Amino acid sequence: MSLRVWVSGAALLAMTAVLALAQSATVTPPAPVVAAARTSQTPDGRRDPFVSLLRRGIDANRSQGKPADGIGGMLVNDLTLRGVLQSRGQFVALVQGPDNRTYLVHANDRLADGVIRAITVDTIVLIQDVNDPLSPTRQREVRKPLRASVERK
């Protein structure tokens, strides 16, 4: 019987120590969540009604405003190869944009929806980003020849 009393006394003493420790410990409140720099919430916590819920993310930010000037704002399908030059051992292409202006482009130049992969003597090779969610491929290779091939009958 004395062993049972001693064990229950020790358990009571341990529980009292834990409770005293819990009461004396200071509880720090969790740090407030810092809002992101670009938030669509008003100070009182409501959503901004003028921010579209459908157009969010990087693509929406990139498409806002006017497109980039020069070759960086043109699409792959809008370019036409007009000539190829050799400068310092590298090929440079003369391409015509939809504005009927001619631009000098080099390999690895960025376009609005792709990049120029290579320039050969009579062809420019472009990699176009495919923006189709149902397509299994994310990029496709587009070749634009200097002279259009003429089919013989």
Confidence of residue 36 (pLDDT cuts 50, 70, 90): very low
pLDDT score, position 45: 76
Encode pLDDT of 72-113 as tens digits. Answer: 999 999 999 999 999 899 999 999 999 999 999 999 999 999
pTM across the whole model: 0.54
What fold does the segment set 68-145 form as a domain? SH3 type barrels. (2.30.30)
DSSP track, 60-114: HHHHSSSPPSGGGG--GGG-EEEEEEEETTEEEEEEE-TTS-EEEE-TT-B-SSE
Q: Where are the domains positioned within the chain?
A: 68-145
User: Which residue carries 């006394």 as its tokens?
Assistant: 9
User: φ and ψ at 14, to 5 degrees?
Assistant: -65, -40
